Amino acid sequence: MKNLLSLIGNTPLIEIEENIFAKLEGFNLTGSIKDRTALAMIEYAEKKGQLKKGIQIVEPTSGNTGIALAMISAIKGYELSVVIPKTTSEEKKKMILTYGGRIISVPNKKFREPVIKELKQREKRGEIVFLNQYENKNNVKVHYEKTAEEILNQIGKRKIDYFIAGIGTGGTITGISKKLKEHFPSLKTIGIQPKKGDIIEGLRSLKDGYTPPIINLDLIDEIIDISEEDSLQGRNYLAKKGILVGPSSGAVFKAIKNLNLKGTVVTIFPDRGERYLK
């Protein structure tokens, strides 16, 4: 008999428009691609013997990783605290709390580097388990070994010319791009980041001064800035086609439409849109 965690992965790849294929990660258990990442990190920590009874997992996340970790922790019986920026949507916060996770909210400017530094120190003292999605190689490995393999199986005999994805922790774009470039050496990878000063949940700009250690920029051929307004337009367009997605998916799709590329394009829609409705 399958357990709940077996529902993670094997998401559909749909031709949204002619030659534009999107992998709908909203079909994962909690509705986002971060289910894959969270499960991979937790299973690796289990293999290393890091997760012991009474010690809690603490992870900084803009929301989706926190939701995924909260769900998996509920199933496996682990304690979890999630550090989130204040701009995280109320829907995401409620999901984390409903699964039994705790929330620590911090100002946006103090999110990430200061938090990561503190959590590393706490882990050294043996107080917590810090999975650290920004530096955890399993964040890349799961997409190289599983997500990209699914894409190759689903695309069949087609040649993929472009892989376009948002830039967050860098795990998705690095892992998938590496695998696809092995099969299609001429493939061009394009990363999407928010325009300076704009906030698009699920994406971050490398211009802000922080480059996640797991991202391999050599695998990304071009990086394009997209505005909040572009993201909203992309989401609304897709909703009219019956596909409700989050801001990062809207941003990526709008970028693809703007580029008007010739050839087969594959992209990732990281999550569903219900948690962003206001």
Which has the closest alpha carbon to 175: 162, 161, 189? 189
**Mean pLDDT, residues 20-41:** 98
DSSP string spanning 176-236?
HHHHHHHH-TT-EEEEEEEPTT---TT---GGGS---TT--GGG--EEEEE-HHHHHHHHH
Q: How confident is the model at residue 35 (pLDDT cuts 50, 70, 90)?
A: very high
Residues 139 and 133: beta-carbon distance below 8 Å: yes
The domains of the chain are located at 4-29+137-276, 36-129
Cα–Cα distance for residue pair 71/148, rounded to 1 Å: 24
- Structure-model confidence comparison of residues 208 and 13, the more confident one: 13
Q: How confident is the model at residue 1 (pLDDT cuts 50, 70, 90)?
A: very low
Q: Give me the active site residues, please.
A: 34
Q: What is the pLDDT of residues 201-236, one digit of tens each?
A: 899 999 988 899 999 999 999 999 999 999 999 999
Which has the closest alpha carbon to 143: 51, 29, 268? 268
Do 4-29+137-276 and 36-129 agree at the fold level? yes
**Predicted structure pTM score:** 0.94
- Structure-model confidence comparison of residues 1 and 72, the more confident one: 72
CB atoms within 10 A of CB 145: 13
How large a percentage of the chain has pLDDT more than 70?
99
pLDDT for res 113: 82
pLDDT for res 73: 96
Mean pLDDT of the chain: 94
276, pLDDT greater than 90: no
Provide the CATH number for the domain formed by 4-29+137-276 in this structure.
Answer: 3.40.50.1100
32, pLDDT greater than 90: yes
Q: What is the pLDDT of residues 122-148, one digit of tens each?
A: 999 989 999 999 999 999 999 999 999
- Structure-model confidence comparison of residues 85 and 33, the more confident one: 33
Q: Which secondary-structure segment (H or E) carries 104?
A: strand 102-106
Q: How confident is the model at residue 278 (pLDDT cuts 50, 70, 90)?
A: confident
89, pLDDT greater than 90: no
Fold of 36-129: Rossmann fold (3.40.50)
Q: How confident is the model at residue 2 (pLDDT cuts 50, 70, 90)?
A: low
- What are residue 243's phi and psi, to 5 degrees? -115, 105
